[in-house]
Structure 1
């Protein structure tokens, strides 16, 4: 359960907090310029986005439930890699623009209020929350097919935590360093992204083998460091499905017997994305 609970909690927390920060900026700024009566439009846009994201998630998982084993593996692989692309793109974008968000958003609010376009306020909230909602749905779909309970618990804890923080932020009793927050969480998300990349490749390999495709040496497993099962049939703590192993699997994408292709892609992800973000941090 840990292999999905921890990533789901952090992803949901990060995405929900990002959306909540934007909505909080809108509400706080409207209050600052004496237009707090427009707050309802911001909240309305956010609620519509949340409902839309939930419906998309239900639709995707309903579709997954009717697939064959090979099709399910193919779906999991594609869903995981799609989530990685979206997640990584978001990390790169936030690395470049996290310091500019507040000023740009306040400018758009000022324009909407000046032109009496009240529904533009709803649109700002909707777009912000819907974007984060879609990213969350894509990741949770990849996580949900692995472990439903762990994913749900992680997501609920993440949302509940963000809700509490949002209330404190709107009351002005807490100052969050947005830039520092995104830098720290981006590193953690990069780690999860690498692990999810490896998992997605593994599922595609299994789908290919299940369909009769031979990947040759790329599909071979060069080692297996997983210890054998305990006498009672349970997993040892260091097994990839054991207590410690499952936590490492969640945090760094640990796999005791990976395929060559998975190793190559996993290391490649770290080299390419890690190097890019490191260079960006020096600019």
Structure 2
């Protein structure tokens, strides 16, 4: 259902932002710089406000366009969301281990520059996650039949991520973040494949791509669109009972190579041998 897809987005993106804030707060507390905590929260609040405003702008723009313009706008936001979420998944997979040290280094530099630099640093660290969340959420709920369901899902995801982040900060929870981001990354790749398919469908609706009525298959008899499992497939993976050939091609073209590169073992950098060892060899 759309609730689960939205929940996954809120949980994944929310936890990334929560981890960023936790690192900043923990660094200030351990460095005995609690006086700078208000500046961090000002930056975080500003980033949240920007993200909410960006989401509202997307919704307002889509609601005030004609049919063709709305389809084109939905297609563009869907394709942008796929690009951002794909980049984010691979970036987090590669940089998760070094994220804490990188943030601490940037905050140390910001502390030397003054309070405004701390506000800007906290704002930028959280704003990226917030803007990605707003764009991905908007793209994922296009065509949702229940308007309240996506909002409930993403709200629950954000609350869950905040609780997990607080537990990690207080050392009450010990979770394997590498496994967490791997499994949620896999699920988000499936969600992104559905969003990409929906973006292609919108381009067909806007008459920019052909083949809207050239169907790849029709399983509406076996998987009715109004059934619970039809709603689950449509809301979670954007799989519809009667997709066009181009939609199916787009889904496969995105999903197969993305999964291949995501699941491929990461190469570890080899440590160069000491000079003495090399000469002895």
Q: CA deviation at 1:203?
A: 1.6
- Corresponding residue for 1:118? 115
Q: Quick check: 1:194–1:269 contact (8 Å CA) kept in 2?
A: yes
- Corresponding residue for 1:199? 198
Q: Quick check: 2:43–2:119 contact (8 Å CA) kept in 1?
A: yes
Q: CA deviation at 1:179?
A: 2.2
Q: TM-score, normalised by structure 2?
A: 0.88
Structure 1 unaligned spans of 5+: 229-237
Say whether 1:138 aligns with 2:135: yes
| CA–CA distance in structure 1, aligned partners of residues 226 and 81 of structure 2 | 23
| CA–CA distance in structure 1, aligned partners of residues 99 and 243 of structure 2 | 40
Among 32, 48, 55, the alignment partner of 2:30 is 32
Deviations 1:209-262 (A, max 9, x none): xxxx6725x75103201118xxxxxxxxx3234201111223333221111111
Aligned length in residues: 266
- Corresponding residue for 1:234? none
Which deviates the most, 144-153 or 58-67?
144-153
Q: CA deviation at 1:140?
A: 1.7
Deviations 1:6-35 (A, max 9, x none): 111111111111001000011011111111
Q: CA deviation at 1:96?
A: 1.4
Are the structure 2 counterparts of residues 91 and 127 from structure 1 closer, same or farther at C-alpha, using a change threshold of 3 Å? same
- Corresponding residue for 2:241? 256
Structure 2 unaligned spans of 5+: 269-281
C-alpha RMSD of matched pairs (Å): 2.0
Q: CA deviation at 1:282?
A: 5.7
- Corresponding residue for 1:223? 217
Task: Say which SS state the counterpart of residue 239 (structure 1) adopts.
Answer: coil
Among 57, 60, 63, the alignment partner of 2:61 is 63
Task: Say which SS state the counterpart of residue 101 (structure 1) adopts.
Answer: helix
| CA–CA distance in structure 1, aligned partners of residues 57 and 110 of structure 2 | 34
| CA–CA distance in structure 2, aligned partners of residues 97 and 105 of structure 1 | 12
| CA–CA distance in structure 1, aligned partners of residues 80 and 247 of structure 2 | 16
Say whether 1:269 aligns with 2:254: yes
Among 85, 103, 106, the alignment partner of 2:104 is 106
Q: TM-score, normalised by structure 1?
A: 0.87
Are the structure 2 counterparts of residues 15 and 214 from structure 1 closer, same or farther at C-alpha, using a change threshold of 3 Å? closer
Are the structure 2 counterparts of residues 281 and 150 from structure 1 closer, same or farther at C-alpha, using a change threshold of 3 Å? farther
Q: CA deviation at 1:271?
A: 2.2
Q: CA deviation at 1:85?
A: 0.8
Q: Quick check: 1:195–1:250 contact (8 Å CA) kept in 2?
A: no
Q: Quick check: 2:110–2:121 contact (8 Å CA) kept in 1?
A: no
Q: Quick check: 2:203–2:209 contact (8 Å CA) kept in 1?
A: no
